[in-house]
Chain A
Amino acid sequence: MKKFLIILILILIPVKSFGLIEVDITRGNLNPLPIAVSPLSIDEESRKNFQNILKKKNIGSEISLIVENNLKVSGLFNPLNKDAFLQEPDIANLKPRFEDWNLIKAQALITGKVSYVEEKLRVEFRLWDVLAGKEMMALAFTTVPNNWRRVGHIITDKVYERLTGERGYFDTRIIYVAEEGPKTQRVKKLAIMDQDGANNKFLTLGNELVLTPRFNPTSQMVTYLSYFRNLPRVYLLDIETGTQEVVGDFPGMTFAPRFSPDGKKIIMSFAKDGNSEIYTMDLENRIVEKITNHPSIDTSPSYSPDGKFISFNSDRSGYQQIYVMKSDGSNVKRISFGKGIYGTPVWSPRGDLIAFTKLHKGKFYIGVMRTDGSGERLLTENFYQEAPSWSPNGRVLIFYRETKTDSKGKGFSAKLWSIDLTGYNERQVPTPTDGSDPSWSSLLSN
């Protein structure tokens, strides 16, 4: 089960150039950058070897398709149609004829080469600035052939980083709840997949209800709620070994779990006698601390990335609102004051924003506000949607959306969606079944 530990040997090919093109990610994506992703070239012998191992006819083309799809879904790039490409992949990788690429309006070009070296997959790629006629970046990786999809994601991350100046988020995974069956008897399973929907895998069988899975900072562990033996409890699951355990020894329902930013604690709600309070449990010494103390519902806690503050959901004012407190529970301050009720606050990995769900006049919104509650901005409105989770670079939110049923109670579905922080580029995230409660991992390769 070492699958997730990519063996990645990075060889930096020295590049002496400076790029003139850049992508501004702060303003939405009204003018996505035209980019040509040339299929990665491959020699015939390597092609045959990989065809035997991976059952893919041309692994070079397959990897470039992953890059192309990632760039397109990001909304910041417009990958050009390959039919218009004039130069052969192998020659383009040596030296692009910039006037040809300019002709089809490409501003950036990705070329590369795949080879079979000592049973490994070796990939090199180059990023070119077409207008300036210069190489912007060149990198090579060697890894086990089975990691070929991840290679496509890592290339995308490098290109994204070079052109936007921000960390990427493509070599990541999503853990979520896969759903099937009628609304009154939904069967729910934990599932994990790559950020683009590939490699979907179910982690539980669906025998018991499971909800709200969340990754730890290294994305090797997951905390979630399970109704195992009809006792709703917070669990801890090691994805690689499959071992799991109940978190703490609480005489009642524990729910709404998340990890602290250092991964050492789980923060969650414990409900007793009609009152839900927020607790933490240290995973090393098992010490449990009570953080809130109020006869109202206090739930959905989420730490700030520096671990100093906690945002949470409380109805102490009469309705659900968002509050922020110090991580010891002191200095509780309400931060949501707009019209409607607010839930599911989640602190951005950058630390400057809190994403939330809002219900106002029968509509549900996903929005963001600054951590003092100012600058509220609603990104998307729908019949029902909730539970935003941040991409590791804090530029994209993934959440889930449910449809309204018709007068006969038919037509229910739950799907994962993503949207840029700018409010643009709303997209459904492909899942093999219905899905809810998504949680985005950190970058798997650093």
Chain B
Amino acid sequence: MKLTKILKNGFLIVFACIALSACATSKKTTGQMQGDVYTGTDTVEYLASGVPDRVFFATNESVLTTASRETLRKQAAWLRKNSKITIVLEGHADERGTREYNLALGERRANAAKDYLMTYGISSDRISVLSYGKERPVDSGSNPLAWSKNRRSVTVKAN
């Protein structure tokens, strides 16, 4: 009787292990990335309800993805409604590049976001740009997922 109990428990443990590992792997594979652009919400904060504060980029790229443009349109709508608010666009790069190039890349990414906001009617007077290069990662991991979270432009309220 005892033996079967132990076996039962053992099975339970084994089963739990499988379930857990499946969970862990499915998280990776179902992807918080499309290509190498982060699509998850782990690090995302909100400027207002339904208005995400950041957009993500592919390696070495400053091109806005479809999802990024959608996020920026939401930000533009919110900024039009709140016309007194000014913002800083903080551009960032991952750790897989030289420091100086990444400073330039962060600036280019933040400006890509700025240009898009401007096409939706936000005056450049309300937007300043600040590049941190690779100096302020949100995820300290050294893996593709962490890097994808760090390649970002974050819209921060300045007043």
Contact = CB atoms under 8 A, between A and B. Distances in A.
Interface of A: 182-186, 209, 211-212, 225, 230, 232, 252-253, 255-256, 269, 271, 273-276, 297, 299-300, 313, 315, 319-320, 343-344, 357, 359, 383-384, 386-387, 402, 404-405, 407-410, 412, 437
A320 B110 CA distance: 19
Interface residues of B, number: 32
A343 B135 contact: no
Nearest to A400: B99
A231 B98 CA distance: 20
Interface in B56-109: 60, 62, 95-101, 103-105, 107-108
Given A271-B104, A384-B95, A386-B99, A319 B60 contact: yes
B136 interface: yes
Interface stretch (B6-14, B30-38, B138-146): B138-146
Contacts of A383: 142
A405 B142 contact: yes
5 contacts: A184-B139, A253-B131, A255-B103, A276-B108, A408-B141
A343 B100 contact: yes
B17 to A, nearest CB: 18
Given A209-B135, A253-B107, A273-B111, A344 B100 contact: yes
Nearest to B103: A255
A115 to B, nearest CB: 48
B23 to A, nearest CB: 15
B138 A344 contact: no
The 5 closest A-B pairs by CB, nearest first: A274-B111, A409-B140, A343-B98, A183-B140, A276-B104
A412 B140 contact: yes
B25 to A, nearest CB: 13
B130 interface: yes
A269 B143 CA distance: 30
Given A212-B99, A274-B62, A274-B108, 6 more contacts: A209-B132, A209-B135, A276-B108, A297-B101, A359-B97, A408-B141
B112 interface: yes
Most A CB within 10 A of own CB, among B129, B136, B139, B140: B140
B143 A407 contact: yes
